[in-house]
Structure 1
């Protein structure tokens, strides 16, 4: 039971006990008897009076606490609604919405809460693909913690609309993917860009071994197609970099040739 509910229940219980004691006192007066000043009846009378006093003290406090609790919930709901409205206006204000946005963190101690807020903002404005990257691989090693924070921020910032903004955790080593969702999230580390190039080269070598390609066929377009098939994401349109280092520090080196970096 919540704190407000438990306090209100105790106040109601005390009120009922006080009313019962007062009823006994009234019956005693109607019968021409005064309340006892000694013995068990006196103890019952004093307990009823004490319960009435406790009720008088607890009931207003419980009501005020419950009112403050409801007011805080209304303020949170109002803040979430304002946030959704502000994010929608952000999306409308953008002349061109990026299909794939990269979020690159060069700080030594990245913030899970800040990154989750950025991901939820991307989801709310309608960005289809989001890549999260830090050069130490902290987010990738702790991807479940990041996902928990994203789900928490979804509920707090999007409120009842959070079901409309389901996120897909699209890492290749993640088996339980969510399909048919609005935004797909990939958490990357420095090894991912190199691994994609190696896998694309292996696929091309297999095609050559199967005589479907020759080594002279390899060019930029062929490698682009091979990388797209292994990566599953389009090239980033926009990369937002956070931190003091003026470098992307190995973020998808092949895929950001034409990417705007801010």
Structure 2
């Protein structure tokens, strides 16, 4: 009798927990959609041109402030003093600002990628969401993004995504060009947004002359699960062959980095923060020493990741104490 009662209570508790989890999930989803509707309504009333959209994105973001962990302690102290002074000034003006990372890692959810392959509409929606994140990033001044494609579908169909991104950024550049032509008396340079693909797929450029413009370039890398593992294997093989010629050759980080392909190398490859949409942390596309200082911030509901949540993500990144490994 006791076993039956215990089993009955266990089922009730188990089912209640499942029901509670579902309620929380749909509450969050409904909350995201509600806030997005309000945000979209405000944007519809306020935004009439691409420049209005850029101003709206930059409303609460100071994209000039960054933290470089390679600087010496003196520079770090100066930066901290400047940041503290800026914070104090902002509090007085009641206009909070947000600093942006130089390098952002974007980790996609495997299930979202599988869902995007169901039909063309799902694929376009998936690519649209990624392109929105990239456009927001280049507007606020992020210099580099590494997209972790754990499924591999994005890298295989990169040309479709590139064309979509190219079409989405054109209105911003064309609008800037028109404003420059109609307001030639102004001394302000027009801003042109560009994307440089480090995988050597192609570079999206504009038809505007390079003189008298302010180019803002976002370097984009796409890595898969195989990249990190395979490149270590390739470098190990190369080291074995090179060591036969030079017995004094040392296998160190400098040697490894100098032999890595461009899309997973460089002085600024180490991401400062990762926007993680995966169900669990997936690091196999990154090299171990490249993420030793990376702050991983989990996010869910990729399809509901709107501009408001992008701002919240940057605010959360700013709230994290940046100790640079100390």
State how far apart, in whole Å, the 2-side matches of 1:239 and 1:213 are: 38
Offset of residue 221 of structure 1: 5.2
Specify which of 259, 267, 284 is matched with residue 250 of structure 1: 284
| Distance change (3 Å), C-alpha of 1:178 and 1:205 | farther
**Correspondence 1:63-78 to 2 at 5 A:** 78=48
Map Cα deviations across residues 53-75 of structure 1 (whole Å, 9 max, x no partner).
xxxxxxxxxxxxxxxxxxxxx98
Contact 1:167–1:184, Cα closer than 8 Å, also in 2: yes
1:105 to 88, 105, 108: 108
SS of the residue corresponding to residue 293 of structure 2 reads: coil
RMSD: 3.2
1:1-262 pair list within 5 angstroms:
78-92=48-62, 95-96=65-66, 97-110=100-113, 111-156=126-171, 160-161=175-176, 164-172=192-200, 174=201, 176-177=202-203, 182-211=217-246, 213-214=248-249, 217-220=250-253, 222-227=255-260, 231-233=264-266, 234-243=269-278, 245-248=279-282, 250-254=284-288, 255-262=290-297
Alignment match, 2:32: none
Change (3 A) 1:77 1:90: closer
Shift of 1:109: 2.9
Where in structure 2 are there 5+ consecutive unaligned residues?
A: 1-43, 67-99, 114-125, 178-190, 206-214, 298-326
- State the Cα deviation string for residues 20-60 of structure 1 (Å, max 9, x = none): xxxxxxxxxxxxxxxxxxxxxxxxxxxxxxxxxxxxxxxxx
Structure number, greater radius of gyration: 1
Distance 2:160 2:262 in 1: 28
Structure 1 residue 140: Cα displacement: 0.5
TM-score (norm 1): 0.59
**CA 1:118 to 1:161, structure 2 compared with 1: closer, same or farther past 3 Å?**
farther
